[in-house]
Structure 1
């Protein structure tokens, strides 16, 4: 029997480029077709990433106190979300946090700081942290996420040993003014381009569940494809109380899986990370989503807690995958809207006296 999505995957494997019509077919597939969509996306994932899962670990270097007004963000200007707020971690504390994630299996550490963008002093501060971290863990990848960059800052981060730079487009250019007024979509594109020009691996993704249309989501994904992002984190809106989008629960697990499949079909050979909000939105479909995405964050997020790290590692193993960079990293033959109140504010790890989740 003819399978549209399997045929589509076959064409992607021979170098075809996903069209807008095909993207709509993925997002608008029926529940009866959901496993066909996932299986076809899994063909692409296996072809490019075999049975590996890249584990990433977040270190929130500076939490809250941001002057930007992004409506989705718990750290935004005027946010009443009861999140942790603290200024820059001491270098030794940042390195200790990162080490926790590395010991749990992370091959990339993402060092994040709230704010519109770093000052030159901030860049020097992060450079020192990266240098110390690389001295202790020379093989770990470091991704910096510090906001909108000024001229020359990307090159300084690269010289300090930073491997990648994250700056998400978040949504389409058409929708961007609806979620932020303190900077523009073009500022984000420019920062990703500066990172690329400096030799940093570009990491840029989206947030879904903010009320975007299918066309706007497709626009955002195609913009990431055009930008040439090496890794695409897909975040699912966490509607913190005290933010303009509180109470916004528009996603179902099946819809989230279709979004991941869309990104996989649009960018078959790109690292695809199921990122913030996956636990509350994908829920019991997380294991199936791992057959589409090949990357995840281990442990907690910036201002909310993730599921236990051991549960993530068990999920990876139970589904026949291995952690990238581990001793098992080789081929093997084994192998409705979310309920309000399921979001837990992070109270452990960076900026607290509690041990981190890893």
Structure 2
């Protein structure tokens, strides 16, 4: 949908890569694609050697072609499986769960993508929809037994949580990552 077809978009990414730019390109899940389509997209992005792969989940918005839907056409289980496949095919990329997770995952499921291989989230509000506050995202990460990775974005998790829901600082709305508190096993 739009003024450029897929090949045009790939060519733009190839030109950016040739110019020395790191590539950030991803997907929107739940628009009616098949599991094969999801894998094909991952392979196409693998061929481009993206360094950042945002995984969005459709959040239907009034006035768009999907405004008749109440939710994305993908289950939590299928989303988590897709993230695991993306991690396997993109072992060195930042696989980030971004828009739509707040409306498509139950509160107690939002940590599951990290267990499948996601290493970051986009927090705060998005371009056209509301997200979760950075403080709530930090709480979710901690409740799942993980901790925010402050080496990626320099921020104080306690300060962010103390600000409450209404004051997202641009410095901590970009990407927050989480790391497990558990020690790695030899299994």
Over residues 24-80 of structure 1, what are the superposed CA-to-partner deviations in whole Å (9 max), with x where a residue is unaligned?
xxxxxxxxxxxxxxxxxxxxxxxxxxxxxxxxxxxxxxxxxxxxxxxxxxxxxxxxx
Under a length normalisation based on structure 2, what TM-score does the superposition of the two structures give? Answer: 0.75
**1:307 and 2:118 matched:** no
How big is the shift at 1:183? 1.3
Does the 8 A contact of 1:233 with 1:275 survive in 2? yes
Match of 1:195 in 2: 16
In the aligned structure 2, how far is the partner of 1:211 from the partner of 1:320? 32
**1:204 and 2:30 matched:** no
In the aligned structure 2, how far is the partner of 1:327 from the partner of 1:300? 18
Task: Specify which structure has the bigger relative contact order, considering alpha-carbon pairs within 8 angstroms and separated by 6 or more residues.
Answer: 1
In the aligned structure 1, how far is the partner of 2:9 from the partner of 2:25? 9
Alignment of structure 1 residues 186-335 onto 2, 5 Å: 186-248=7-69, 249=71, 250-283=73-106, 284-291=108-115, 292-318=117-143, 319-325=145-151, 326=154
How big is the shift at 1:356? 5.1
Alignment of structure 1 residues 53-72 onto 2, 5 Å: none
SS in 2 for 1:201: coil
Number of residues of Structure 1 aligned to a counterpart in Structure 2: 153
SS in 1 for 2:121: strand
In the aligned structure 2, how far is the partner of 1:181 from the partner of 1:317? 40
- Which has the larger Rg? 1
Q: Flag the 1:298–1:193 CA change in 2: closer, same or farther, 3 A.
A: same
Consecutive unaligned residues in structure 1, runs of 5 or more: 1-179, 329-354
In the aligned structure 2, how far is the partner of 1:321 from the partner of 1:288? 14
SS in 2 for 1:239: coil
Match of 1:357 in 2: 168
How big is the shift at 1:309? 1.2
SS in 1 for 2:37: helix
Over residues 212-231 of structure 1, what are the superposed CA-to-partner deviations in whole Å (9 max), with x where a residue is unaligned?
11211111111001110001
RMSD: 1.9
How big is the shift at 1:290? 2.1
In the aligned structure 2, how far is the partner of 1:285 from the partner of 1:219? 26
In the aligned structure 1, how far is the partner of 2:136 from the partner of 2:44? 34
How big is the shift at 1:247? 2.7
